[in-house]
Amino acid sequence: MLSEKLEKALNEQVNAEFWSAYLYLSMSADFAAKGQAGFANWMHIQFKEEQDHAIKLFNYIISRGGRPVLKPIAEVKTTWETPLAAFEDTLAHERKVTAMINDLYALALKENDYAMQSMLRWFVEEQVEEEATAQGIIDALRMIKDNGFGIYTLDKELSTRVYNPVASAE
């Protein structure tokens, strides 16, 4: 059984993960509108991953005898000046999510909930990957600057990203 505090905090994280999904779907729409299909594909997969994060937590709340409560999803930005601006927003957002996961972990420690600490370690690892991936694309975009062929090549590269469902998010 989850403590009331942990159930509430997990529900807030479910909302935050859905907001992340919304943010990346919005970025995907913006890239698609600009004819950058590879960037759009990358963001669309990111959207699906974030939905998986939300559902993984949703399922976890149920498995611990809690009750998922879905709250409204706040509005997201709809357009970004450049691909670099979008990926800088992505990294800044993922850093915020990392801080939220760390706070959740700290709360699970405080509440002596060992099962939840174990579940959250997956998210701790995932956040390392999320930040590193966003940073890698930012590094590439900084080298490319406004070189059209560079953007074209990176767009082609990002078009190859495929979706791998997250375990226990079905």
Dist. CA 83–CA 114, nearest whole Å: 41
Instruction: For residue 79, give Cα distances in angstroms to 38, 42, 162.
Output: 17, 16, 24
Measured from the CB atom, is 84 or 97 closer to Fe ion?
A: 97
* DSSP per-residue codes, 54-86: HHHHHHHHHHTT------PPPP-----SSHHHH
Of 14 and 154, the one with the shorter C-beta distance to Fe ion is 14
Question: Both ends of the chain: CA-CA distance in Å?
Answer: 22
Q: Which residues 6+ apart lie within 8 Å of 141 measured at CB? A: 82, 83, 84, 87, 154
CB of 147 to Fe ion, least distance (A): 28
Provide, rounded to whole angstroms, the least separation between the CB of residue 120 and Fe ion: 12
Q: What is the largest CA-CA distance in the chain?
A: 55
For Fe ion, the binding residues in 44-83 under the rule CB under 5 A are 49-50, 53
| Nearer to Fe ion (CB atom), residue 44 or residue 53 | 53
- Of residues 22-41, those binding Fe ion (CB under 5 A): none
What backbone phi and psi angles, to 5 degrees, belong to 113? -100, 95
Region near Fe ion per CB under 5 A, out of 14-22, 33-41, 138-146, 151-159: 14-22
| Shortest Å, Cβ 146 to Fe ion | 28
Minimum CB distance to Fe ion smaller for 24 or for 80: 24
**Piece in contact with Fe ion (CB under 5 A), picked from 42-50, 67-75, 79-87, 111-119:** 42-50
- Give the shortest CB-125-to-Fe ion separation in angstroms: 10
Note the residues at the interface with Fe ion (CB under 5 A).
17, 49-50, 53
